[in-house]
Amino acid sequence: MADLFDPMALRGLALPNRVVVSPMCQYSARDGNANEWHVAHLGSLSLGGMGLLCLEATAVTPEGRISPGCLGLWSDENEAAMAKLLKVIRAASPVKLAIQLGHAGRKASSAPPWQGGQLLAETEGGWRPIGPSAVPHKPGEPAPEQLDAAGLRRIRDAFAAAAGRAVRLGFDAIELHAAHGYLLHQFLSPVSNRRGDEYGGSLENRMRFPLEVFRALRAAVPDTMPVGVRLSGTDWLDGEPSWTLEQTVELGLRLKDAGVDWLDISSGGVSPRQKIPVAPGYQVHLAEAVKRQVGVPTMAVGLITEPRQAQDIVAQGRADMVALGRAMLYNPRWVWHAAAELGAQLEAPPQYWRSLPAGLNSIFLNTAFGMR
């Protein structure tokens, strides 16, 4: 079995360890453009020694943003702003960078969490969301507009176009967001997909559009570039038709045949009726089941906060990588502390080599230096 600090290969990408920074929405872009906040936020994280740093959910169309402040990659202006951000990160850190591409579907046009997170009316700077069916996310909300055939083609092509921009920008990997109740998950779950055409009804039909999007994205990037998918392993809705772990495994097998390089297994998000048993590592069993039954590298997420906890997940073969979100915001040097606790080594900026307490210099590679 592997250890948390063992290297890992994903297609043509070599990761120095199995620690991943999860994509975390910042709701701070302007017209989809990265700005000074993203430079400060990602610049701090990029120095932490993780194996892979994934940028937040980035919309492939303007109406696909979760909030008016979400990042986008649908225009030349978005691409130019992202290029400035990456130039700063690349100048300071060798960290491997991924971008998560997504579309919020019926959960778009929302206020940021610190402003309540509710659906914004057009008079409040919002827009009418779209979705697989005219079914609102919450009771009392206006129904989204149901996508027609032309709309489906437009969004599929937008994912491929954004992937092409990510390649030009020099990202090392791409993650397709099909979880948390956003558009592709909305197609997968019968909670939100009530269509009567070839994109609704049976499991085969509900998987059709997400698989079309994945294949279009995969075809838009070089063969050497790894592409993963984030999935909700379950809707956490017992007693009603919903998305389940068994269906996740079936989709995982289809994605494996289509060339997926990893599956990032989260859960929930499609319904406010969900009942999630939140506890440390509460989603790890989902990643473990997908790893065992699908046979592709998996990423475990969800209240993984302690180094020994993360090490045990990898060492016991429950997942190949662990992804941390809030824990990294609270402690951007989490990976350093984990290396010290687990007796591992990692690369760090030479400007920071003398920051460690006495006796811990051994966690940094090539740290011999002196002063006169």
Cβ atoms of 86 and 169 within 8 Å: the answer is yes
Residues paired with 9 in a beta bridge? 14
Residues contacting 167, CB < 8 A, separation 6+: 220, 221, 222, 225
DSSP per-residue letters across 231-292:
EES----TTSS---HHHHHHHHHHHHHHT--EEEEE---S-TT------TTTTHHHHHHHHH
Residues contacting 256, CB < 8 A, separation 6+: 294, 295, 296
Q: Report how far residue 270's alpha carbon sits from residue 81's, in angstroms, rounded to the nearest whole number.
A: 31
Please say if 182 is a catalytic residue: yes
Length of the chain: 372
Buried b (16+ CB within 10 A) or exposed e, 36-57: eebbebbbebbbbbbbbbbbbb
Q: Where are the alpha helices (DSSP H) in the chain?
A: 36-46, 76-92, 149-169, 183-188, 203-219, 245-258, 284-294, 307-315, 326-330, 334-342
Active-site residue (options: 182, 199, 282, 330): 182
Q: Which structure tokens are listed for 90?
A: 């690349």
The SS3 of residue 65 is: coil
Q: Which structure tokens are listed for 17?
A: 């360890």
**Hey, which residues are catalytic here?**
182
